[in-house]
A and B are shown apart, each in its own frame.
Chain A
């Protein structure tokens, strides 16, 4: 439940950031884009292993060395990226004339998003969001699996304490090499379609 609220908040924030205009905000947009690309591109299970076993192995203090906490963080970041994309397409589906009408009444960019664009976008994306949450419920089972695996590993030799990042990171990078070009291609196709529509 907490995870769902966190996922919604994170997704909405990232989606809004990606839709902010103006060259001054480019770094934020870029950051938000990198975030969605990375966390959508790596499989959920891989992220859970990387975070759940990797981060506690960095030698954090209790209770922050618990695998389950970091596995939950991983799943929030993962679904946050999916939900951000859903929100983003919702925001784009609101016709630009709504923004023009809001701005012409004197509302600032932020107020226009807050009171005019986002409420309409959210209404439109509720069905696909529910879809994502069904998947999220299923994937939380993966987080639960982290507990027993952790216990098993602790029962093994002392070397188990030293988490070897390399294979996981390599796998993640391989996945990203496949998915990021795909994400960029999708954006490009969407932009072209929008340009053609005008």
Chain B
């Protein structure tokens, strides 16, 4: 579904990605972990063409995004992304946030798009918020709307970029519950996360990223209990120590 081969990317002199190889197969849930600044967000942005790569290949659902003439808009329709900061459209009510892309990009009629949106909002416990504007919602509700908005395009894969980092602790659970439900439904997902417990629970595979490379990857049990690489061990120890404080 997603394949990165030897992807490199630099911002000026800052070489952020130095040859990333990464695969996400259909129905797979892959967690990206790694220290701040290791390039997790950058990888996700390269996968939906928000950032162009300098070298290597990014293939999404058969479309090679690294080709100069690649149809980025078509690829983006297949990939849903949810950001840490929600990024809902503040001038539109919840329902219009969700129906904008299906109507304008997929050419759905208003009635059809609103029916599909209502069903999705219902499924994630947001049906009573359809007419509210984003600033009336809690962070957790906003983030769930952002997930619904991405799902409304019926993407083949969902990318999540630390979607709970900006939330108050008591709101995190609701959002994780939504992702859990998507995993059960067989959605292909790639998530950058600091929530190690959640990564361990939900992911089929965990990739540890550091210094612009995938240092180690494997099933969650092995990654969290017996990582092979010293750098992975050090990182997990730091995370655990921070948790204890």
Residues of A within 8 A of B (CB): 97-98, 100-108, 111, 115-116, 119-120, 123
Contact = CB atoms under 8 A, between A and B. Distances in A.
Contact of A106 (B87, B91, B153): B153
Interface in B52-101: 73-74, 76-77, 79-81, 83, 85, 87-91, 100-101
A119 B90 CA distance: 10
A108 B48 CA distance: 13
A106 B83 contact: no
Contacts of B244: none
A135 B241 CA distance: 64
Contact of B73 (A108, A119, A120, A123): A108
A119 to B, nearest CB: 5
Contacts of A102: 89
B50 interface: yes
B191 interface: no
B150 interface: yes
Contacts of B104: 107, 111, 115
Interface of B: 48, 50, 73-74, 76-77, 79-81, 83, 85, 87-91, 100-101, 104-105, 149-150, 153
A132 B149 CA distance: 38
B149 A105 contact: yes
Nearest to A100: B50
B105 A123 contact: no
Contacts of A106: 73-74, 76-77, 101, 105, 153
Nearest to A114: B104
Per DSSP, chain A at the interface is helix
* A-B pairs with lowest CB-CB distance, top 4: A101-B87, A105-B101, A106-B77, A106-B105
Nearest to B103: A115
A18 to B, nearest CB: 22
Contacts of B79: 104
Contacts of B85: 97
Given A104-B48, A105-B100, A108-B73, A97 B105 contact: no
B186 to A, nearest CB: 22
B50 to A, nearest CB: 6
Contacts of B48: 104
A104 B74 CA distance: 10
A111 B105 contact: yes
30 contacts: A97-B87, A98-B87, A98-B89, A100-B50, A100-B83, A100-B87, A101-B83, A101-B87, A101-B89, A103-B50, A103-B76, A104-B48, A104-B76, A104-B79, A104-B80, A104-B81, A105-B105, A105-B153, A106-B73, A106-B105, A107-B100, A107-B104, A107-B105, A111-B104, A115-B100, A115-B104, A116-B89, A120-B89, A120-B90, A123-B91
B213 to A, nearest CB: 26
A116 B91 CA distance: 8
A102 B90 CA distance: 12
